[in-house]
Structure 1
């Protein structure tokens, strides 16, 4: 996060720019986040924000990948793995059942759910967890937080954590695009990637683009080689994660 990003966070959270006074805890976390997000990425930023709100564990999920099989939609987490594996299908199911209006109204509004009774949680950790929805560009994320038993949560601070998490993820996304994409897809490769993401077969893409089926398959093979993916589904998931389609 650059200096403009820090100023934007400060303005959003109502932090006055008064360097002569002792920084508040909110001001200190913004300053730390500006360093953490730029140097060590999402996990360190989420650890910092979890500590700020008093949470013991965090889980960050990307909602546009949530219907895929497995746990690929989970970006970063320090929840116990058995707990993640048990709760993840319920997260996906609840998200799928919610309407678009529900999803919009839930942004930055903390909601609470219970870990299933048959699932163990760490000692002294509440079975209730908090969910925060946030947006980075057109992409929705969820931040799930576990807390110690008996902890009284601050609604204002939870909202702040949602806003700060969005800035941290945005900063990380920009850095990853610069450092990880050491390849370039051609215009034709991007076209093929777009159409397979739309569910089109090689024959259909060949008809749309006016080139042969074998040429389409060669383009798709090249896309998978460059992105390090093995199937069309993996290539689509990669494209979504990196905003290629």
Structure 2
């Protein structure tokens, strides 16, 4: 994942929350999410996401998100505009290995005549995504991903951009590792498993729970599977009933 030809990336640099011990203990997407929160805060950003590129069958952001701290309502409103697959973010990140910077219009279509462009820019501006910095990263299988940090702060200088890139690479490597290792089973229900059960009991679908919790639908399904096993249930509904009976949710 690291670029040995880029001298601005300093392998020896790492903020406190990205110590070898911290990274080595990561086992779930939720733990990656927490590290990304700290990373974003460290560099002065309020929002972040990691997403796959849109495709013909899944053009909306919610269908491609892996981890994010975007509010669920923001994701819903953004998806309703149907602009993700046409956004400058997607088109510009796909065309360069360099960091991509932009204001609220980065998440909107480039065509100023596009009716949804102004609405998308206004929406992201209202939610504090006034300035963004995006990186293109690839998995070990060569699949491209977008890592985006957004907020209201001034643009990072060259050195801090390089440091954030290196941090993003480390965090993405941790995230990719969770694809293979999955969630480690615990003797008791984890906090995330309880949250998934609680939202399911409230009538939310797996996709909706994924948006609410800022994780992927695959991870939501994984939490349901482990929770069902731990509760000795045979399906999701029985697991919810058992958790309610035990006053866990």
Please point out which of 63, 66, 81 is paired with 1:72. 63
Rg: which structure is higher? 1
Q: Select which of 121, 140, 144 maps to 1:140.
A: 144
Deviation of 1:104 (Å)? 5.7
User: Which consecutive aligned stretches of 4+ in structure 1 deviate over 4 angstroms post-superposition?
Assistant: 64-67, 102-105, 120-123
Q: Is the 8 A contact 1:37 1:172 kept in 2?
A: no
> What does 1:205-216 align with in structure 2 at a 5 Å threshold?
none
Residue equivalent to 1:35: 22
Deviations 1:119-162 (A, max 9, x none): 26567x3523332222222021112222235x342233223323
CA contact (8 A) 1:38 1:171 kept: no
Match for residue 81 of structure 1 among 72, 79, 90? 72
Give the root-mean-square deviation of aligned CA atoms.
4.0
Distance in 2 separating the partners of 1:68 and 1:12: 36
Q: How many residue pairs align between the two structures?
A: 164
Per-residue CA deviations over 1:22-48 (Å, capped at 9, x if unaligned) read: xxxx43347436514632532123113
Matched, 1:56 2:59: no
| Correspondence for 2:162 among 159, 164, 175 | 159
Cα distance per residue 1:34-68 (max 9 Å; x no partner): 51463253212311321232111111111266851
Is 2:102 aligned against 1:112? Answer: yes
Structure with more contact order per residue of length (Cα contacts < 8 Å, sep ≥ 6): 2
> Matches of 1:132 and 1:97 in 2, distance apart?
11
In 2, Cα distance between the equivalents of 1:96 and 1:157? 21
Whole-angstrom CA distance in 1 between matches of 2:89 and 2:133:
18
Q: Does 1:14 align with 2:10?
A: yes
- Does residue 46 (structure 1) correspond to residue 36 (structure 2)? The answer is yes
Counterpart CA distance in 2 for 1:67 and 1:13 is 36
**Structure 1 CA distance for aligned equivalents of residues 183 and 17 of structure 2:** 26
SS of the residue 2:14 aligns to: helix
In the TM superposition, residue 106 of structure 1 has moved relative to its aligned partner by: 2.2
Q: CA separation of 1:95/1:38 partners in 2, compared to 1, >3 Å: closer, same or farther?
A: farther
1:226-245 pair list within 5 angstroms: none
Instruction: Look up the SS of the partner of 1:27 in the other structure.
Output: coil
